[in-house]
Amino acid sequence: MFAAGDRVAVAVSGGPDSVCLLLVLRELAPRWNLHLSVAHLNHHLRGAESDEDARFVQQLAGSLGLPCHLSAVDTLQPPAGRPDNLEQAARRARRAFFASLRSRGLADKVALGHTLSDQAETVLFRLLRGAGPPGLAAILPVTAEGLVRPLLTVTRDQVLDFLRQRGQAFREDSTNPDPRFARNRIRRDLLPALTRDWNPSLPCILAHLADLARDDEAFFATQIEAVAPRVLGGSPFGPLLDTVALSRLPLALARRVLRYAISLAKGDLRRVEFHHIERLLALSKSSQGSGSVDLPGVRGIRSFHQILLETPAPPRPPYLLDLVPPARFAPPGGCFEVQFSISEDWTAPECVYNDSSAGFGSAAVSHRLDWDSIPTGLILRNWKAGDCYQPAGSDRSFRLKELFAAARVPSWERPGWPILCLKDASKDCATSRSETIVWSRRFGPAAGYAATARTRRVLVISEFPVDTESNRRPAAS
């Protein structure tokens, strides 16, 4: 938890657990070469009582000769009828306070006073809410954010004995008996009853369950990191899951990969439960190759062998542009740019389109059109339902939807798909929706408009991938 020379801010609320932690670390600091300070955040939740807590902590720090970092937040108000949300808001405020101590160079680590009793209550609480192994890991002894919990193997009774032996005063939180808070009901009623009536070792058993779950999740984290490059891809629209690669994973690992992918998409796993993962897993196994599931804060959309995890976002706007080469255009939300130029070299390279086997990207593309065969101006627009044309080299017309299906173009890429049409000279760009398509992305020039050996001037349409952060394959962490 600590390295020699660490600056450790001890988070002290004034309650028995944090006061005990401060005294213990004060005794051990010389031996471990720790530089201690005290940190206290006044939530203003209990009026004058909260202010008294802050004064008590400040005086305690002074009596020990330690610097004290005091801060305060505005009163936190939970939504009506949801008092538990107040705990979440207070926890977020504390985390932000601790992060600020580290970012300002005031602490390398922040020590918290959670005990084995807190761990047991948390595991039981999460069991009752239906948590799986990741949730049962509960309170972590050490976190990536620099939080450490030295008392996590110590019971609350041991803490109280320690304080009584030293005659050390502490503060009592008057909200602890409040039955509106689920954790209070577990602490005061449920866990004591189970311990008394079923197993006196239950708190230790629950804490050991957290240890086992944490070790299992640490192992699976390494497995996710190993398989993520095969299963997960990035796109401007969100993380992409390869259903074929996912199907080859053991079920326990596949479920965890799905959880990891959801966390990439929405930034957390709040409100994501077992049945959500199972619905997404069922979508990945579906033989239909299409469909969707709505999850908390994210939507899974299946198209062929891929699932896009899409977070709510404004719809991509349609576009309709009067195209005059030379020009370049990047479709909204796309990961590529299309460039249009005029050349007198009809031998410009043919289309070179290289689909990635995982469907996560493409190489540069180039198409050639006979510029002199175009009788009017051009309109560049996005695909719309019903579009059809006859690609050069084919013997009939196709609906774009047919070509999409044959080329396995995912459904989320289709709305912004670039189409080049002849401009109706009798209409302006804002209203023209010409049906004469002369080119489509990937599928190339229309019959009668492709450049040949007799072409004098060539309209070269080139596509290049855009290197954006959102288009990179995410890495596991």
pTM of the model: 0.73
pLDDT at 469: 47
- Kindly list the structural domains of the chain, giving each domain's residue range(s) and its CATH number in brackets, ordered by start: 7-209 (3.40.50.620), 234-310 (3.30.465.60), 320-470 (no CATH)
Confidence of residue 348 (pLDDT cuts 50, 70, 90): low
pLDDT at 237: 87
Task: Identify which of 8, 112, 89, 85 has the alpha carbon closest to the alpha carbon of residue 43.
Answer: 89
User: Which H or E run includes 295?
Assistant: strand 290-295
Residue with tokens 């866990």: 191
Q: Which of 46-60, 64-78, 227-241 has the lowest mean pLDDT?
A: 64-78
Q: Kindly report, residue by residue over 95-129, the tens digit of the pLDDT.
A: 999 999 999 999 999 999 999 999 999 999 999 98
3-state DSSP of 329-342 = ECCCCCCEEEEEEE
Name the token pair of 40.
């206290």
| Share of the chain residues as helix, strand and coil, in percent rounded to the nearest 5 | 35, 20, 40
- Res. 334: pLDDT tops 60: yes
Q: Kindly report, residue by residue over 179-222, the tens digit of the pLDDT.
A: 888 889 999 999 999 999 999 999 999 999 999 999 999 999 99
First vs last Cα of the chain: how many Å apart? 21
Mean pLDDT of the chain: 88
- Res. 80: pLDDT tops 80: no
- H helix count then E strand count, the chain: 13, 21
